Chain A
Amino acid sequence: MTMTVADLFPLLPLLLVTGTAVLVMTFIGIQRHYTLTVSITVAGLLVAAVTAAWMLLMGSKQGGWQVTPLLIIDQYSLFFTIVTCASAIFIALLSYSYLRQLPDQREEYFLLLGVASIGAVVMVSSNHFVSMLLGLETLSMSLYGMIAYPVHVKDSAKFPLEASVKYLVLSAAASGFLLFGMALVYAQTGTLGFTSLVSLTAAESAGLGVGFSTLALLMIIAGIAFKLSLAPFHLWTPDVYEGAPIPAAAYLATVGKAAMFVVLLRFIGMSDALQFSGVLLVLSILAGASILVGNLLALLQQNIKRLLAYSSIAHMGYVLIAIIADYHVEGSISIEAVSFYLLAYIIMTLGAFGVASAVSDSSSEKDHINDYGGLFWRSPWLAAVFTAMLLSLAGIPLTVGFIGKFYLFLAGVEASMWLLLGALILGSGIGLYYYLRIVYRMVMPVDESGQAHDEPSLGGYGVLTVLTGLLLFLGVYPAPVMQLIELISVGL
């Protein structure tokens, strides 16, 4: 098969992200200049995001472009390409002030960030095991580097090496599961593209039966669940989050999770995995367990990063409810629910990490809950942003988190999944407690002992303002985004 230039057009966003990474690498080779490196990264990602937005608004071909068997560029992948690039830009800006004081080479971090974004963009556009794995490994490999980045620094704030190695080793194990599952699926279907396993097992069930398919799917799901840190595959999450520099943890928590979820959504949709009762059962258990484990363990945390890690476990459980609902519901409401919630989750998680990052730098991290005592009176704006993010994570109206939760409830009700809805209500109730605990700490009278420099940099200000604006706008008037998400989800 020959590729023409026209074939490359749909790949434009991906090529731009790749080009950005190459450009950053070349530039670092020629001259080390911190600010300029960050500017190139941000500008490149911005161009990629704008291009993807343009392609999305122009209306892509019906059903999207299948570029080689590996990549599908449809409206859904374009939407998440935009989300990925935008998140990467935000994180780059947060990293800029976070790493400024790092007494080491600082520029390569942004190269890693660019490469990780390539991986994420490949993942959201993949409907083939090869591209999925390529994207996933590109993303993960860069993340190992990003997490361990301050490793040479003597007085590093945390223990980045431990976090990175832990993530590396466990990721490798998860990839092993994933690959084995893929091999089993290949043995069934004879193709590495995502394809339905149902018709095959019915017609050509000679030798390899339903049990075999279920096993294959479960191994793949185990691998994915590890990356999504669904309970009981969540044990690495709090340690890695805590040890990693805050912006790297933010990248892991947002882009890393969202890209994986998009692949999961596509895979489950195209492989008809939910038709297998065993898979449905396991997914339901994963969702319920994640919600309960995540929320209950978050109650015990005194460290903001660990707390956000456990809360992200719970949130992934929430989203999984909508994925399971897809089996029971006609139409695209559950896919819309997943998409909207992922968007909401990215905004609020980035915001929460953003506040933590804005008051920290690479030599001193403000990640204990007491560091935020009296923040409301020391730095009202920052505290207001943090409060908004936490209330959104708790799903309170006026914020995007509420609309997201509304979608999940709707999907759950339409699918009549009362048990999981019960878990969702219970989980949200528990969640309120630990989110409000931080809010309460912030409105306490000023504690003189924990004085910190609370003034974020200009970039930090900008990022947090934009995120808060999005959070409130989408919480009050989400109609345009709802429309867009309906549009892109129908095609999936």
Chain B
Amino acid sequence: MILAALISLLIIGGLLAWLSDRFNPALPRIIALVTVFGVLLLMLDLLGEDKGWITVIDVSWLPRFGISFYLAVDGLSLLLIILTAFLGLIAIGAAWDEITERAGFFYFNLLWTLAGVVGVFTALDLFLFFFFWEVMLIPMYFIIAIWGHENKNYAAMKFFIFTQVTGMLMLVSILIMAYFHYLQFGVMSFSYEDLMRVSTSGETQLLIMLGFFIAFATKLPSIPFHSWLPDAHSQAPTAGSVILAGILLKTGAYGLIRFVVPLFPEAAMEFAPVAMTLATISILYCAKVAFAQQDIKRLIAYTSVSHMGFVMLGVFALNELALQGAVMTMLAHGLSAAALFMLAGGLQHRIHTRNMTEMGGFWVRVPRMAVVAMFFSVAALGMPGLGNFVGEFLSLLGAFQANLWLTVIACFGLVLASVYSLWVLQQVFQGKYNNSSIDESKLTDLTKREMLFFGVMMIGLVWMGLHPQSFLDLSAGTLSDVLTANSTTTVESVAVGTELVPPVLLGATP
């Protein structure tokens, strides 16, 4: 029940925020804050529970096709929902002063995006999962299209079309799975456990898996499906970037862990080298491209792609260590990328440019901001003692067991990460103070409110870095389940499976 309450809370909160705009323009943000805080409390309340599915709700929805409203939470989902709620709060904080126009509708969209994301992290009926997967796009589209920057139409459209079209490939795969279940067990079902029992063979399984993989790799994003992300990020308002980088990208990684690996064990195994290669290329190529950017938000966007490469590398290494690393990277990157986008957004809000060539030597003017930027850049480049290091280290350690050479190559990503992180710091905060093209009076240091948000995120990253066990414990159960599903089916891989009816092309004769 608590899960249904969670999602309805966000949905109703969103509607209230929209309506309250008529009475007082300051009301929506307060309503949004209270709502998301409520979600966070509800989730923290579940923390002490045992392993396995902590809470489940399963109500028949569309009996004609065996579809049910089936939500459940385990350690991994719980971690990610807490991250969602936490970054939701941060995003509201980032929007607090920035969004003044049509604030009601903004917070409505924000909360509905969060509702969609929570749905994605909890849905165990694949139809319902797809439903939420698509639902979270629409409010995000509005956030970019209405409150975005100069080229928002293009960016919003690209974001929507990329995700939606690849999502439809996933829908086809889901339907094929459900149809196989019908052929093998006589009833249609979209439930996670039921589809787990569907046996498919060789090439068919690989093709079905590709449908899922492409959808998730687009969201993650991984080369070659990443090109929407720099546009979406650079055009979105700060709060939008925080949500995008911090949470939406994680839904792709979550999908890989939750669905691709356990549902298609053999195909995942077979496909792993390709996926790991893509991940490695993402890591290196996007780090290189990031270095060439002048737009600070685009730069951070490319580094996101690069960091998410470690996640994919970890997932497809298919061992527990690497999966732990992937989850850790997701969490840590959620915080560090959100913080960096907030900094970039803060800079843009102050001096109305994202172009780094127009900046320089800001340390003297905004020392607090510079130190904060220093902290998060160093976190992003993987400094030991902070969360990102733990994540990337574990990913690489696990990947090392799976594929030696790719791991060795991927390690150079860490070197490139230091290069671009320090490069940003140098461009913006060090060097000669450059005030030729900016309005100096607007360049003010971080406010107390901003310091509060950054401070909380710093604590989070240090905690992850110094005591990662508290996070690893939570997700361990889920991850070993995922891998057991993987290994048992591999051992019993007799999978006779029903072959797909050979593709009936145009004009087949009876």
Is this pair of chains taken from one and the same complex? yes
A interface, CB within 8 angstroms of B? 275, 277-278, 280-281, 284-285, 327-328, 377, 391, 396-398, 402, 406, 409-410, 413-419, 421, 425, 428-429, 432-433, 436-437, 439-440, 443, 477-479, 482-483, 486
Residues in A whose Cβ lies below 8 Å from that of B137: 396
B505 touches A443 (CB 8 A): no
Name which of B134, B164, B503, B504 has the most chain A CB atoms within 10 A of its CB: B504
Residue on A with the closest CB to B135?
A397
Query: What would be 26 A-B contacts, judged by CB atoms less than 8 Å apart?
Result: A275-B510, A277-B509, A281-B506, A281-B507, A284-B507, A328-B501, A396-B134, A396-B164, A398-B135, A406-B171, A409-B172, A410-B175, A413-B179, A416-B502, A417-B504, A419-B503, A421-B172, A425-B172, A429-B161, A433-B157, A436-B141, A440-B145, A440-B153, A440-B156, A477-B61, A479-B62
How far, in whole Å, are A275 and B509 apart by their CA atoms in the complex?
7
Residue on A with the closest CB to B182?
A414
CB distance from A34 to the nearest CB of B (A): 37
Residues in B whose Cβ lies below 8 Å from that of A398: 135
Tell whether B138 is near chain A: CB-to-CB under 8 Å: yes
A428 touches B165 (CB 8 A): yes
Looking at the complex, which one of A377, A391, A428, A437 makes contact with B168 (CB distance below 8 Å)?
Answer: A428
CB distance from B159 to the nearest CB of A (A): 10
Q: Assuming the A-B contacts A416-B504, A440-B153, are A397 and B134 also in contact, with contact meaning beta carbons closer than 8 angstroms in the complex?
A: yes
B157 touches A482 (CB 8 A): no
Additional 9 contacts, C-beta under 8 A, given A281-B506, A398-B135, A429-B165: A280-B508, A328-B504, A396-B135, A397-B135, A402-B131, A418-B503, A425-B169, A437-B157, A440-B145
CB distance from A323 to the nearest CB of B (A): 15
Residues in A whose Cβ lies below 8 Å from that of B61: 477, 479
Residues in A whose Cβ lies below 8 Å from that of B451: none
* Contact digits for B475-507, partner A, Cβ 8 Å, 1 yes 0 no: 000000000000000000000000011111111
A482 touches B503 (CB 8 A): no
B171 touches A391 (CB 8 A): no
B506 touches A409 (CB 8 A): no
Interface residues on B, range: 35 or more
Give the 9 A-B residue pairs with the shortest CB-CB distance, closest first.
Answer: A281-B507, A429-B165, A277-B509, A413-B175, A416-B501, A482-B64, A397-B134, A284-B506, A425-B168
How far, in whole Å, are A429 and B171 apart by their CA atoms in the complex?
14
How far, in whole Å, are A418 and B506 apart by their CA atoms in the complex?
10
A483 touches B64 (CB 8 A): yes
A414 touches B135 (CB 8 A): no
How far, in whole Å, are A183 and B509 apart by their CA atoms in the complex?
26
B500 touches A486 (CB 8 A): no
CB distance from A214 to the nearest CB of B (A): 12
Q: Assuming the A-B contacts A398-B135, A429-B161, A440-B145, are A419 and B506 also in contact, with contact meaning beta carbons closer than 8 angstroms in the complex?
A: yes
Residue on B with the closest CB to A284?
B506
Residue on A with the closest CB to B127?
A406
A440 touches B157 (CB 8 A): yes
How far, in whole Å, are A486 and B63 apart by their CA atoms in the complex?
12
How far, in whole Å, are A278 and B510 apart by their CA atoms in the complex?
11
Residues in B whose Cβ lies below 8 Å from that of A280: 506-508
A416 touches B503 (CB 8 A): yes
Looking at the complex, which one of A402, A410, A429, A437 makes contact with B134 (CB distance below 8 Å)?
Answer: A402
A277 touches B172 (CB 8 A): no
B507 touches A396 (CB 8 A): no
Residues in A whose Cβ lies below 8 Å from that of B422: none
CB distance from B12 to the nearest CB of A (A): 15
Tell whether B433 is near chain A: CB-to-CB under 8 Å: no
Residue on B with the closest CB to A482?
B64
Residues in A whose Cβ lies below 8 Å from that of B506: 280-281, 284-285, 419
Residues in A whose Cβ lies below 8 Å from that of B127: 406
Residues in A whose Cβ lies below 8 Å from that of B156: 436, 440
- Beta-carbon contacts under 8 Å, B96-139 to A: 102, 127, 130-131, 134-135, 137-138
Residue on B with the closest CB to A415?
B504
CB distance from A433 to the nearest CB of B (A): 6
Looking at the complex, which one of B130, B142, B505 makes contact with A419 (CB distance below 8 Å)?
Answer: B505
A443 touches B179 (CB 8 A): no
Tell whether B176 is near chain A: CB-to-CB under 8 Å: yes
How far, in whole Å, are A391 and B134 apart by their CA atoms in the complex?
11
Residue on A with the closest CB to B142?
A443
Tell whether B65 is near chain A: CB-to-CB under 8 Å: yes
Residues in B whose Cβ lies below 8 Å from that of A413: 172, 175-176, 179
Residues in A whose Cβ lies below 8 Å from that of B134: 396-397, 402
CB distance from B435 to the nearest CB of A (A): 32
CB distance from B346 to the nearest CB of A (A): 25
- Beta-carbon contacts under 8 Å, B284-338 to A: none
Residue on A with the closest CB to B165?
A429
Looking at the complex, which one of A275, A327, A432 makes contact with B160 (CB distance below 8 Å)?
Answer: A432
Tell whether B146 is near chain A: CB-to-CB under 8 Å: yes
Residue on A with the closest CB to B158?
A433
How far, in whole Å, are A415 and B65 apart by their CA atoms in the complex?
17
A429 touches B501 (CB 8 A): no
How far, in whole Å, are A429 and B168 apart by their CA atoms in the complex?
9
CB distance from A215 to the nearest CB of B (A): 16
Residues in B whose Cβ lies below 8 Å from that of A409: 168, 171-172, 175
Looking at the complex, which one of A284, A391, A416 makes contact with B500 (CB distance below 8 Å)?
Answer: A416
A479 touches B64 (CB 8 A): yes
Residue on B with the closest CB to A391?
B138
How far, in whole Å, are A425 and B164 apart by their CA atoms in the complex?
10
Residues in A whose Cβ lies below 8 Å from that of B503: 416, 418-419
How far, in whole Å, are A419 and B507 apart by their CA atoms in the complex?
12
Name which of A416, A419, A483 has the most chain B CB atoms within 10 A of its CB: A416
How far, in whole Å, are A406 and B188 apart by their CA atoms in the complex?
14
How far, in whole Å, are A70 and B500 apart by their CA atoms in the complex?
42
CB distance from A475 to the nearest CB of B (A): 10
Residues in B whose Cβ lies below 8 Å from that of A410: 65, 175, 179
* Contact digits for B160-193, partner A, Cβ 8 Å, 1 yes 0 no: 1100110011011001100100000000000000
- Beta-carbon contacts under 8 Å, B2-22 to A: none
B164 touches A432 (CB 8 A): yes
B157 touches A436 (CB 8 A): yes
CB distance from A266 to the nearest CB of B (A): 20
How far, in whole Å, are A432 and B161 apart by their CA atoms in the complex?
7
Residues in A whose Cβ lies below 8 Å from that of B160: 432, 436
Residues in A whose Cβ lies below 8 Å from that of B135: 396-398
How far, in whole Å, are A486 and B188 apart by their CA atoms in the complex?
15
Residue on A with the closest CB to B132?
A397
Residues in A whose Cβ lies below 8 Å from that of B171: 406, 409
CB distance from B326 to the nearest CB of A (A): 28
How far, in whole Å, are A428 and B171 apart by their CA atoms in the complex?
13
How far, in whole Å, are A406 and B65 apart by their CA atoms in the complex?
11
How far, in whole Å, are A251 and B135 apart by their CA atoms in the complex?
31
How far, in whole Å, are A396 and B361 apart by their CA atoms in the complex?
48
Residue on B with the closest CB to A429?
B165
B145 touches A482 (CB 8 A): no
CB distance from B87 to the nearest CB of A (A): 24
Name which of B102, B172, B506, B508 has the most chain A CB atoms within 10 A of its CB: B506
How far, in whole Å, are A409 and B102 apart by their CA atoms in the complex?
38
Residues in B whose Cβ lies below 8 Å from that of A391: 138
Residues in A whose Cβ lies below 8 Å from that of B62: 478-479, 482
Residues in B whose Cβ lies below 8 Å from that of A417: 504
Residues in B whose Cβ lies below 8 Å from that of A428: 164-165, 168
CB distance from A314 to the nearest CB of B (A): 15
CB distance from B506 to the nearest CB of A (A): 5
Residue on B with the closest CB to A441?
B153
Residues in A whose Cβ lies below 8 Å from that of B142: 443
CB distance from A490 to the nearest CB of B (A): 12
How far, in whole Å, are A417 and B168 apart by their CA atoms in the complex?
15
